[in-house]
Structures are given as structure tokens and as C-alpha cells.
Structure 1
């Protein structure tokens, strides 16, 4: 500690007697040795132990009430505000559409690789980056399974929503609710045209657009994206 460097020696049985999971844990310790790498080791351990339906459409308790994606974004925002001591001015779009979001082990079998892909998807900041990552994943791994395509479209909706001041996009029993922040950058005339155009979209004060009949899973993302593009 302090100015003294410490060493720890871990004694293990011969490699032949180790289980595959044990080998992966040891590989993670070797790879993630820098300061602050504890989170990545913990995330890998969670996946090895079994994360259940953590990234799926079914959740429990307060996470079920607000959605896993919204829960994570609220947590990240609170941590950042506590760290900086000031409120974040940018509106982050929380999305809860009750669809599966994950990279299946059958698509990418290496846990560490899947964690890196999750980070890449979450780090996209433009539609061009989403499209480029989509093509890259297809080139490397083949056709994307539905849960991975859902992840990519979530990233696209988050980008479109942030640019328009959308606070949340939520799938409910009544349809799809798109709620705007008071500083939302939208054209009121476009809203009037959209609501009056027979598209099944209604406006609920103070700042919510509702797509009354929730589209099928196949057209879910494209329907929401079209609305967000219409109001820009």
C-alpha cells in the first residue's frame, strides 16, 4: 500500500482439473488487471453464474415498473450528478418497450467479447455509428438474431429521441407513449399534421404523443422511428 507494492500468489490445481468456468475466471483476472477493472470482472462473474432474464422483457419489482433500460439510465444519471455536483442539462431518452435485449451465447460464445459488444452499442452517438456497427457485426458473425437487432434499434431510438428532447418512450396497454421534455426541439405544426393525418397518433397534454394501437413486434421500432422523424 502507499509506496509499497504488494503481490499475491494464487495457488491452483493443475490446469487439467480446472472446470471451463474456472479457466474463464482466471483468464479474466489476467486480462483485467488494471486499476478500476473490478466492474468488468464482476460483470463477467454475473454472466458466468447466470444473469437470468436481466436483459429480457420480463422483470420484477420496481425494475418491472419502469423498465430495465430506464432503470439503468436513471442510475447512471444520478451517479454522474453526484460526481459532478450539478444537474445534467441534456435530456436522455428512457425506453421501455418490453422486448428482449441481449446478445445470445449462441451468437457470440465468448463472454468477454459479448461485454465489449454491449459497450460498443451503448456508446453509439449517431445513426451512422449504429449502421456501421450493425454492418460490422453482420460481417463478423453473420445475420443478427432478433434480440441483437432489438439492441441496435434501441440505440437508434435513443439517439433520435435525445435529438428531439424525448424524455421517454414506453409501451403500455394503451399503445406507445412518447413523452417530451419542456425544452423539446420539435415543430408544433408537424405535431398538428401528424395528429390530424389519420395516423392513429393522438396528443395528450402536457407533452405526450400516443400511438394508440401498438404495432406488431416486427413493425414496432420502425413505427416509432417514423413518428420521431416526422416531428423533427
Structure 2
């Protein structure tokens, strides 16, 4: 089972890297075609214009980011893809796949996380550097395994487990540092971001709510990560 989980995790990593390379190749192709598009647009038929609009709608599904993150209640390490949008790219959606070591359990486990970030403002430091003093994040993650459930099994008394053990809602905040790679030096990545987050979930929050003496690190967890902007 350990070999199977590691193999699955490796496949996901390869697919994510391939998606990044494909996105980079598409960006180059789009840049090369911009000069031709305006001159050819007038000669396009109604069908051709409809196809172009159709493809543009689907282009929004193309990932613009590659992400790696450690801890954060989503596994010892997680890899994923992301999309940024908004007038100032202040919104981000990440889809991450993580791995949890066996520790005292019988097998290695995998996690899936759907994450939404909001970055209200940025501060330019010059020479390509940017500082984002606040990142707000909300995400749901699940652990794949037979030991976790969404609805409490009937073998337990009603209310014995007030929360699902399979799905965890998380809330966090953090800070980020971004370096914009100069245009003449860009190959595969547009910018690189390093970040940290302090996050908690429903179980940890209730621990604090029920026990006011709970320490800070009993409620919040610290995670670090990196984000590569592809497009």
C-alpha cells in the first residue's frame, strides 16, 4: 500500500509539471499569434469567429500557477495547480494533492484540498519584488482512506462525534513575497512567490472554544509554500 500511494503521488506530480510545461508552450504560441490575429480577423468566417470565442471560453480553465505547500492540515507535502483572476489578480483558486506519512497507522494516505485565496493589496518594493502583507484563505480538504467517514457510523451514539472525520473546513491568513522575473529572462515561469500561512480548522477552533486555556499552537498550524506563476 505504501508503494501504491507513493506511485500515485508521483503520477500526480508528473501530471502537474506537464500541465505547467503545456501552459508555458501555449503562452508562447499565443504571443506569436497576436500579431497575426488582428490582420486575419477580418477575413474569418462567422463559423471561425464562433470557434475562436468557444476556445477563449475554455482557455479560462487552463491553470496559470503551480503550487507546492507543506503542512497546513493537508499533508506533509502537497502539490497542485492554481488559477488567478480578478481585476488585480486578487483571487486565486488552488487544487492540491497531498500525502500523509504512515506514522502509527497501517498505510500512507493521500489528501485532496480545494483552496480559495484573497489578496486585498500589494506593495511594490522595486527591482521586481512585491510584498503582500495579508493573504486570507479558506479551504476544504479530505483524506482518502477507509478510516474516515462523512456521516457518523451507527455503532457510535448520536452526537458522539460532532464533526465529520473525512472533510475538514480550514481558515487561515498569511503573508507573501513575490519576485517578478524580468521579461528578457523568462523561460518557463513569470514570477515566483514564497509564502507562509497560519491556519486552523473546525476541530482546533472548538478545542479553543471549549477550553479557553488552549495554547496558540494548539489551535493554529504553520505552513510554508511556493507558487510559480506560469501565465
Q: TM-score, normalised by structure 2?
A: 0.23
Higher RCO (C-alpha 8 Å, min separation 6): 2
- Whose strand fraction is larger, Structure 1's or Structure 2's? 2
Q: TM-score, normalised by structure 1?
A: 0.23
